[in-house]
C-alpha cells in the first residue's frame, strides 16, 4: 500500500496519453487497440499501465507514454488497419470569399500558411481530416437577387481548391470516390449547398447544381424559402409560410431523392423536419445541429425528432458553435461530447456524427479551437467508453451509410419533376416571368393581336 501515493497520478497520466494515442490510431488508419477487447481483458483501461507500474516506478514514468502504447505492447495483438476519416460541414469557401474575393492565387490566401481561419492544410493534416463537405453558402440577402450566381461562384472555388492543391484535395461526387480518396491519403472534397434559396425555387437549377457536384442541400438557411420554413418560425421571429413544406417543397424533396442529393435539415423548422423525415425515401442528415434537450436553441434537434431520426436511419452531425452547444458564449470540448453522448443514447450510435461548422461561426468551444483538435474529441469519447466501432461511425461510417442509401434510392431513369412553383408564390423582384401564363411577353403578344383585330373593320371600310 505504500506505493499508492505515487501510483494513481501516474496511472491517470498514462491513461490520458493512451486515449489520445488510440484516437490518433483510429483516425489515421494505423493499427489500433480495440476498446471492447481492452475492457473485456482488464478491469479498467488504466490497469494496463498499473500492471507495468507495479514492476518498476522508473519504467512506468519513462515508458508508458512511449513504449506501452505501441501495437503488440503488453501482449495486445496487432489489429488490421482500417481507413477512416472525419466528414463534416466546413465554411472555408465563405471565408475565402469574404477575405480574398475567391482569388486563390493571392499569396495571402495560400492554404498552407493561412493562419486566421479555423481551417488550413496543416490543421487538416493534424486533425486527420480525410473527407470534407465544403459549404457553398451565400447569405439570405441574396434571395430573389443573385443567389444562384453567388452559389455557382462558391462551387467554383471548391473545384479550384482541388485543382490548386491536388496533393491534398480531390473533388469527388460519390461514396466510392470518398473511399478511394481515403486510400490515396487525400481529403475527399464534396459540395454541400447551404440554403434552399440557392436554387431560386427552380427544379432546373437544382438539377444543374447536382451536375456541378452538389451532394447535399440544406432546405433553408435562417430565412424561409417560398417552399420551406426555417427555424426562426419556431421562435416567432418569422411567420410560417409553408407550414413545413409546401406542395412545391415536397416536389423538391422528391427530385432530390431521384437525383441522389442528401436532404439536410439543419436550419429548418420542426414542422419542416417532420415533413421531410416522413416524405423522404432515403435517410436525411442534419449537417450541423445539436441536441435541443441539452441546449434549448431552436437550431437544435428535439427528442421527438431524434426518434424519427432513429426510425429512418438518418443522421445528426453535432454542431460546435458555442451558442448551440451551451446556449451561451462560452463552451468546452466536454459539452460537445455531452451532445454526442445524448444523441447516441436517444437515437442510437448510428445516428450521430461530427458537424463542426468551422469557419462558419465566430465562437467555438475551448479544446476545439480549429480542425486540428478532432483527436482530442475522439480521445474524450474513448474516455467515455465509446467503442472503436462507435468512434468510426461518428467519424465517417455513419455518413457513408446514409450517403450510400441516398445513392441506392436515386433513379436517374425516372422522369424528372417538371411542375414549376406557382408564380404567386414568388416574391416580387427584378426576375422575368417567361414561361408563366401571366408573363409580360404573352401580354404584349395578346395586346398586339387584339389591336390588330380592332383595326381590321376599319381597314375593310376603307377598301
Segment 118-140, tens digit of pLDDT? 999 999 999 999 999 999 999 99
Catalytically annotated residue among 288, 338, 339, 350: 288
Give the pLDDT confidence score for residue 111 in this predicted structure. Answer: 98
Please, are residues 248 and 201 in contact by the beta-carbon 8 Å criterion? yes
Q: How far apart are CA 365 and CA 367, in angstroms?
A: 6
* pLDDT average, residue stretch 291-314: 98
Known catalytic residue at 197:
no
Q: Which grid cell is 153?
A: 461562384
Catalytically annotated residue among 21, 87, 194, 350: 194
Catalytically annotated residue among 91, 264, 338, 380: 91
- Asked whether residue 298 carries a pLDDT value surpassing 60, the answer given is yes
- Asked whether residue 35 carries a pLDDT value surpassing 50, the answer given is no
Known catalytic residue at 89:
yes
Q: Torsions phi, psi of 251, nearest 5? A: -65, -40
- Crossing angle of helices 333-347/374-383, nearest 10°? 60
Give the pLDDT confidence score for residue 16 in this predicted structure. Answer: 59
Percent of the chain with pLDDT over 90: 73
Catalytically annotated residue among 24, 89, 359, 390: 89
Q: Report the 10 Å Cβ neighbour count for 195.
A: 27
Known catalytic residue at 370:
no
Catalytically annotated residue among 357, 388, 390, 417: 357
Torsion, Cα 333 334 340 344, to 10 degrees, reads: 160
SS3 at position 404: helix
Q: Which of 132, 117, 133, 120 is nearest to 186 (CA)?
A: 132
Angle at 339 between CA 298 and CA 29, to 5 degrees: 130
Please, are residues 289 and 305 in contact by the beta-carbon 8 Å criterion? no
Which residues have a Cβ under 8 Å from the Cβ of 95 and sit 6 or more positions away?
117, 119, 359
Q: How far apart are CA 389 and CA 405, in angstroms?
A: 19
Catalytically annotated residue among 24, 87, 255, 267: 267
Helices of type H across 198-321: 203-211, 247-259, 270-279, 303-312
Half-sphere exposure of residue 30, counting CA atoms within 13 Å on the CB side? 11
pLDDT tier at 438 (50, 70, 90 boundaries)?
low
Q: Which grid cell is 254?
A: 422528391
Which residues have a Cβ under 8 Å from the Cβ of 147 and sit 6 or more positions away?
138, 195, 197, 198, 200
Torsion, Cα 191 196 198 203, to 10 degrees, reads: 100
pLDDT tier at 12 (50, 70, 90 boundaries)?
low
Please, are residues 358 and 371 in contact by the beta-carbon 8 Å criterion? yes
- Asked whether residue 54 carries a pLDDT value surpassing 60, the answer given is no
Q: How far apart are CA 239 and CA 270, in angstroms?
A: 13
Q: Which of 342, 334, 331 is nearest to 293 (CA)?
A: 342
Maximum C-alpha span of the chain: 128
* pLDDT average, residue stretch 74-95: 58
Q: What's the distance, CA 22 to chain centroid?
A: 25
**Using CA of residue 263, residue 266, residue 271, residue 274, what is the dihedral sign?**
positive
Catalytically annotated residue among 197, 221, 297, 339: 221
Q: How far apart are CA 389 and CA 380, in angstroms?
A: 15
Length of the chain: 463
- Asked whether residue 442 carries a pLDDT value surpassing 50, the answer given is no
pLDDT tier at 437 (50, 70, 90 boundaries)?
low
Q: Torsions phi, psi of 424, nearest 5? A: -70, -5
- The pTM (predicted TM-score) of the whole model is 0.82
13-17, 53-57, 351-355: the lowest-pLDDT one: 53-57
Give the pLDDT confidence score for residue 15 in this predicted structure. Answer: 56
Q: Is 17 exposed, middle or buried (0-12, 13-18, 19+ CB in 10 A)?
A: middle
* pLDDT average, residue stretch 49-74: 35
Amino acid at each position: 500500500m505504500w506505493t499508492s501515493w505515487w501510483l494513481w497520478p501516474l496511472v491517470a497520466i498514462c491513461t490520458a496519453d493512451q486515449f489520445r494515442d488510440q484516437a490518433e490510431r483510429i483516425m489515421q488508419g494505423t493499427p489500433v487497440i480495440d476498446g471492447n477487447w481492452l475492457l473485456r481483458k482488464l478491469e479498467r483501461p488504466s490497469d494496463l499501465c498499473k500492471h507495468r507500474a507495479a514492476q518498476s516506478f522508473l519504467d512506468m514514468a519513462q515508458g508508458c507514454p512511449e513504449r506501452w502504447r505501441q501495437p503488440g505492447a503488453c501482449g495486445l495483438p496487432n489489429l488490421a488497419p482500417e481507413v477512416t476519416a472525419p466528414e463534416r460541414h466546413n465554411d472555408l469557401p465563405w471565408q475565402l470569399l469574404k477575405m480574398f474575393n475567391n482569388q486563390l492565387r493571392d499569396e495571402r490566401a495560400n492554404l498552407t500558411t493561412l493562419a486566421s481561419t479555423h481551417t488550413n492544410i496543416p490543421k487538416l493534416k493534424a486533425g486527420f481530416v480525410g473527407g470534407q463537405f465544403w459549404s457553398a453558402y451565400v447569405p439570405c440577402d441574396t434571395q430573389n437577387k443573385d443567389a444562384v450566381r453567388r452559389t455557382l461562384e462558391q462551387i467554383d472555388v471548391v473545384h479550384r481548391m482541388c485543382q490548386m492543391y491536388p496533393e491534398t484535395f480531390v473533388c469527388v461526387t460519390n461514396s466510392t470516390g470518398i473511399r478511394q480518396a481515403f486510400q490515396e491519403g487525400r481529403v475527399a472534397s464534396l459540395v454541400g449547398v447551404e440554403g434552399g434559396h440557392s436554387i431560386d425555387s427552380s427544379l432546373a437549377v437544382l438539377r444543374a447544381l447536382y451536375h456541378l457536384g452538389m451532394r447535399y442541400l440544406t432546405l433553408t438557411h435562417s430565412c424561409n424559402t417560398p417552399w420551406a420554413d426555417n427555424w426562426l418560425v419556431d421562435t416567432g421571429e418569422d411567420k410560417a409560410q409553408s407550414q413545413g413544406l409546401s406542395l412545391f417543397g415536397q416536389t423538391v424533396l422528391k427530385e432530390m431523392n431521384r437525383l441522389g442529393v442528401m436532404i439536410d435539415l439543419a436550419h429548418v423548422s420542426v414542422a419542416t423536419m417532420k415533413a421531410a423525415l416522413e416524405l423522404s425515401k432515403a435517410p436525411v442528415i442534419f449537417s450541423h445541429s445539436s441536441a435541443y434537450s441539452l441546449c434549448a436553441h431552436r437550431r437544435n434537434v428535439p427528442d421527438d425528432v431524434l426518434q424519427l431520426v432513429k426510425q429512418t436511419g438518418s443522421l445528426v452531425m453535432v454542431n460546435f458553435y458555442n451558442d448551440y452547444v451551451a446556449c451561451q458564449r462560452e463552451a468546452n470540448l466536454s459539452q460537445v461530447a455531452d451532445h454526442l453522448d445524448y444523441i447516441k443514447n436517444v437515437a442510437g450510435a448510428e445516428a450521430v456524427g461530427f458537424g463542426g461548422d468551422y469557419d462558419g461561426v465566430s465562437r467555438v468551444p475551448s479544446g476545439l479551437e480549429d480542425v486540428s483538435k478532432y483527436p482530442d474529441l475522439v480521445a474524450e469519447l474513448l474516455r467515455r467508453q465509446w467503442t472503436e466501432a462507435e468512434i468510426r461511425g461518428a467519424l465517417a461510417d455513419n455518413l457513408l451509410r446514409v450517403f450510400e442509401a441516398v445513392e441506392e434510392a436515386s433513379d436517374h431513369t425516372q422522369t424528372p419533376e417538371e411542375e414549376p412553383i406557382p408564380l404567386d408564390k414568388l416574391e416580387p423582384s427584378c426576375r422575368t416571368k417567361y414561361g408563366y401564363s401571366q408573363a409580360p411577353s404573352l401580354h404584349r403578344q395578346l395586346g398586339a393581336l387584339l389591336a390588330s383585330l380592332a383595326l381590321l373593320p376599319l381597314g375593310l371600310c376603307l377598301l
